[in-house]
Structure 1
Amino acid sequence: MSATQGPHSLAFRVMRLCKPSFHVDPPLRIDPFDLLAGEDFSDDPTSASLFRRHVSSADAVDSDLSYRNRFLINHPTDPIGLSGLLLLPQSFGAIYLGETFCSYISVNNSSSSEVRDVTIKAEIQTERQRILLLDTSKSPVESIRTGGRYDFIVEHDVKELGAHTLVCSALYNDADGERKYLPQFFKFVVANPLSVRTKVRVVKETTFLEACIENHTKANLFMDQVDFEPAKQWSAVRLQNEDHHSTEVTPTSDIDGLIPNPPVIIRSGGGIHNYLYKLIPSADVYGQTKLQGSNILGKFQITWRTNLGEPGRLQTQQILGAPVSRKEINVRVVEVPTAIHLNKPFSAYLNLTNQTDRPLGPFEVSLSQGESQMEKPVAINGLQKLMLPGIEAFGSNDFQLNLIASKLGVQKIAGITTFDTREKKTYELVAEMEIFVESG
């Protein structure tokens, strides 16, 4: 704290408003009799026997003077040392990102004369910005008498890390009518309550995002919400371990049915919890993304509460994955018959999508010529090449391919090739698809 030089009639007093903490007693309890006798009193048989003779009832004093009873658990809170009392904050305490900083500020007049027309300002100053919390310029405090004070409360949602300064200033007229300016500065540091470490893995067409959340505070964090908000080109599903789901019978009472699932608890001082998400390209924007897609996956929204319910909220920065490189043309099998018989024609329905911002085509669809038609378990029935018209930018076209199976059992539809007759480019895009061929 600092102030301008010279005597001032006013002074600021700042107290942080926060929840109390649990008062913890040592688990080893002390017997009041220890205040009257030495610790070796019970070791002397003569002294102990004389004391027992003066005990009028067993309820008044425990007849067993040994220390073993000190470790007996008489109440469920005894092992953890909780006394049932709450302890008011003894210091400014730690302030974490995502919390609400609340402060009680008092302007005291400790002089022997009254001050008038007091304009009070309270601001939070960070490395990036200056935030006004209170300004009485339009309605100054008319006067603060000798020994009097003016109190107010300010709140600020902490959104930046590092050094912060609470700047309190007063502009007032003293007893001589002189206009004086009093600034006072109260500094504190905002720390990070938790860290979020992410890993991105791509398996075929599916992207998996793993997030590890670590608690850096000295209190347990009860996670109300850990939601991943994917970018518009993704949809996300959280994967959970089946062991976390309850296998008990449905609650028998209506009240039990209204109790929500318990929050995830991340222990103090380095406790961690892992979350796993499966990301899939969104169907509604699948054909509207350019060839060089964005590598932004999304961001996390995290909310929590401490032991006594104080809330906190954080939003992570955008999480980046590997750059998305979409194919110019995508061909996928939409539908095949459920029953396919040997040597009997059947139809496969496919979709051809142009994933670029320019027109493509016309196209020629055929099976690759790696092996003869007679050796293929599944071949085209009829004309070996199907002609398709051109497709506009980000457009698609559904078409039907007539096929015939020449072998029984599990067979593969493979080698479907799309050839752009204008650009003279060949795309072998359709993944192998298994079908079951039964006798006719």
Structure 2
Amino acid sequence: MNDLFLEVQIQNTSSSTVFIQKVSLEPSEMYTGVELNTVNQAGEDECTFGTRTFLQSMEGRQYLYHLQLKQEFSDKSGAIRGLTEMGKLDIVWKRNLGEMAMLQTIQLEREAPGYGNMRLSLETIPDTVILEEPFCITCKITNHSNRKMKLVLKMCDTDSIRWCGSSGRYLGKLPPSSTLSFTLTLLHLQLGLQSVSGIRITDKLLKKTYAFDDVAKVCVIPSMVRRRK
């Protein structure tokens, strides 16, 4: 969705040892970025690679970053198509101690996912639920088309899901590039990791129905497990 975890692998393909002085990510204007390459030890942040700054020949290393799409771009994510710029990665390195460091800049791109005219995302959902006990989820719909929608919600039961409440509920009108949130109640009939499926939303103006299945997974546990806790 709006969160992206980026793993960058750096490998020394030369025949000699190289020394990594700095690896930094500069996100594009669409994203904010956080480095995930440190751990907290005794109240201080330490690099996950320790104090070791060199790479032997053919040795590799992975760097992890968390990118988030800024709100102004998130609301218009339907217009983001094809390749998008994620930012640039700067690597400062040298072959021998004492020599001048070299800078290598890599432009990072990704293929933006296509959502079609309508996108459904989950705002809240529990990780764990109790078998045959109702729980709530909050959904958000985004209109990525260039026209107004008039929406009706229908919930379809599956082998493991029973939806609570009346189906055929009118959600209202949704202008272009706008969002609409609503809460649903359901319960699961099977234990284990279960999928949330069976959401159907119809645009009455176009008479088109959008199906949303496997939108999330929850862990269903027996009631006795919750009591013991």
Q: Distance in 2 between matches of 1:277 and 1:406?
A: 36
Q: Distance in 2 between matches of 1:228 and 1:211?
A: 13
Q: 2:97 aligns with which of 307, 311, 320?
A: 307
User: What are the superposed Cα offsets for residues 168-191 of structure 1, whole Å, 9 maximum, x if unpaired?
Assistant: xxxxxxxxxxxxxxxxxxxxxxxx
State the 1:398 CA deviation.
1.3
Q: 2:19 aligns with which of 214, 219, 222?
A: 222
- For the 8 Å contact 2:83–2:111, the answer to whether it is kept is no
Q: 1:273 aligns with which of 60, 68, 71?
A: 60
Unaligned residue ranges in structure 2 (runs of 5+): 225-229
Residue type matched to 2:26 in 1? E
2:108 corresponds to: 319
User: What are the superposed Cα offsets for residues 241-276 of structure 1, whole Å, 9 maximum, x if unpaired?
Assistant: xxx989xx97xxxxxx9xxx5352145xx6553334
Count how many residue pairs are aligned between Structure 1 and Structure 2: 210
Residue type matched to 2:189 in 1? K
- For the 8 Å contact 1:340–1:438, the answer to whether it is kept is yes
Residues 245 and 208 (structure 1), Cα distance of their counterparts in 2 relative to 1, 3 Å cut? closer
2:220 corresponds to: 436
- For the 8 Å contact 2:129–2:219, the answer to whether it is kept is no
State the 1:400 CA deviation.
1.4
Unaligned residue ranges in structure 1 (runs of 5+): 1-204, 251-256
Q: Distance in 2 between matches of 1:435 and 1:366?
A: 24
State the 1:407 CA deviation.
3.0
State the 1:384 CA deviation.
1.0
**Relative CO higher for 1 or 2, CA cutoff 8 Å, sep ≥ 6?**
2
Q: Distance in 1 between matches of 2:147 and 2:102?
A: 50
State the 1:348 CA deviation.
2.5
Q: Distance in 1 between matches of 2:180 and 2:125?
A: 17
- For the 8 Å contact 1:294–1:324, the answer to whether it is kept is no
TM-score by length of 2: 0.67
1:120 corresponds to: none
State the 1:299 CA deviation.
1.7
Residue type matched to 1:325 in 2? G
Residues 217 and 303 (structure 1), Cα distance of their counterparts in 2 relative to 1, 3 Å cut? farther
Residues 237 and 351 (structure 1), Cα distance of their counterparts in 2 relative to 1, 3 Å cut? same
Residues 419 and 278 (structure 1), Cα distance of their counterparts in 2 relative to 1, 3 Å cut? farther
Q: 1:390 aligns with which of 167, 173, 189?
A: 173
User: What are the superposed Cα offsets for residues 373-401 of structure 1, whole Å, 9 maximum, x if unpaired?
Assistant: 5x744333232122112323332111112
Q: Distance in 1 between matches of 2:93 and 2:119?
A: 43
Residues 327 and 208 (structure 1), Cα distance of their counterparts in 2 relative to 1, 3 Å cut? farther
2:141 corresponds to: 352
Residues 437 and 364 (structure 1), Cα distance of their counterparts in 2 relative to 1, 3 Å cut? farther
Q: Distance in 1 between matches of 2:85 and 2:191?
A: 44
2:199 corresponds to: 416
1:379 corresponds to: 162
Q: Distance in 2 between matches of 1:232 and 1:365?
A: 36
Residues 340 and 387 (structure 1), Cα distance of their counterparts in 2 relative to 1, 3 Å cut? farther
TM-score by length of 1: 0.39
User: What are the superposed Cα offsets for residues 300-359 of structure 1, whole Å, 9 maximum, x if unpaired?
Assistant: 11223541263333323x2333354344322123224665573x6543221112244x24
User: What are the superposed Cα offsets for residues 190-211 of structure 1, whole Å, 9 maximum, x if unpaired?
Assistant: xxxxxxxxxxxxxxx9665443
Q: Distance in 2 between matches of 1:394 and 1:352?
A: 10
User: In the alignment, is residue 399 of structure 1 matched against residue 189 of structure 2?
Assistant: no
Residues 313 and 286 (structure 1), Cα distance of their counterparts in 2 relative to 1, 3 Å cut? same
- Greater CA radius of gyration, 1 or 2? 1
- For the 8 Å contact 2:36–2:66, the answer to whether it is kept is no
Q: Distance in 2 between matches of 1:325 and 1:406?
A: 30
Q: Distance in 2 between matches of 1:406 and 1:229?
A: 44
Cα RMSD over matched residues? 4.0
Q: Distance in 1 between matches of 2:118 and 2:13?
A: 46
User: What are the superposed Cα offsets for residues 88-132 of structure 1, whole Å, 9 maximum, x if unpaired?
Assistant: xxxxxxxxxxxxxxxxxxxxxxxxxxxxxxxxxxxxxxxxxxxxx
Q: Distance in 2 between matches of 1:409 and 1:208?
A: 33
Q: Please identify which structure carries the higher strand content.
A: 2
Q: Distance in 2 between matches of 1:406 and 1:263?
A: 50
State the 1:281 CA deviation.
5.3
Alignment of 1:150-161 (within 5 A): none
1:231 corresponds to: 28
